[in-house]
Amino acid sequence: MPLPTVMGLTYGRYIHEHHLTYEKWDKSKVMVDFLARVGGLRPKKSRTPQLYRNSMCKFWLDTRVEDPDAWFESLKGGLVDPERAFSDYLIGLSKTEVGDSYLNIFRAAFIKFSRVMKLGEIDLPKVGQNTRKRNFSPFSREDIAKLLQVSISPRDRALVLLAATSGVRLGEITELKVEDIELDRDQEPYKVKVSDSIAKGQRGYVTFTTQEAIEAIRTLIGQNGLTPQDKLFTKRSRAHFVFKRLVRYAKLDGERCFHSLRKFVKVSLLSSSIPEPIAERLIGHKLGTIAQTYNAFSDEELRKYYQKAIDSSALVFYGRVRREPRLDTSEEVKRQVLAVLEGLGIVFQPETLDRNPINPEIIKEKMGALRER
Summarize pLDDT for 302-322 with one digit per residue, the tens: 999 999 988 888 887 765 433
258 contacts 139 by C-beta, under 8 angstroms: no
Split at pLDDT 50, 70, 90, the class of 19 is low
Summarize pLDDT for 325-348 with one digit per residue, the tens: 444 445 555 666 666 666 656 665
By CB atoms closer than 10 A (0-12, 13-18, 19+), residue 27 is exposed
Summarize pLDDT for 136-195 with one digit per residue, the tens: 777 888 899 899 999 988 899 999 999 999 999 988 999 999 999 999 988 889 999 999
235 contacts 146 by C-beta, under 8 angstroms: no
- CATH T-level topology, domain 141-311: hpI Integrase; Chain A (1.10.443)
Does the pLDDT value for residue 219 go beyond 50?
A: yes
Report CA 302 to chain centroid distance, whole Å: 17
Q: 212-230 b/e with 16+ CB inside 10 Å = b?
A: bbbebbeebbeeeeeeeee
- Calpha distance 242→26 (Å, rounded): 40
Q: What's the whole-number mean pLDDT along residues 348-362?
A: 53
By CB atoms closer than 10 A (0-12, 13-18, 19+), residue 368 is exposed
- Please choose, from the candidates 68, 124, 130, 59, the residue with its C-alpha nearest in 3D space to the C-alpha of residue 101: 130
- Please choose, from the candidates 111, 115, 104, the residue with its C-alpha nearest in 3D space to the C-alpha of residue 37: 115
Question: Domain extents for the chain?
Answer: 11-116, 141-311, 331-372
Query: What pLDDT is recorded for position 293?
Result: 60
194 contacts 205 by C-beta, under 8 angstroms: yes
* Per-chain mean pLDDT for the chain: 79
140 contacts 153 by C-beta, under 8 angstroms: no
Does the pLDDT value for residue 121 go beyond 90?
A: no
**pLDDT: is 135 or 29 the higher one?**
29
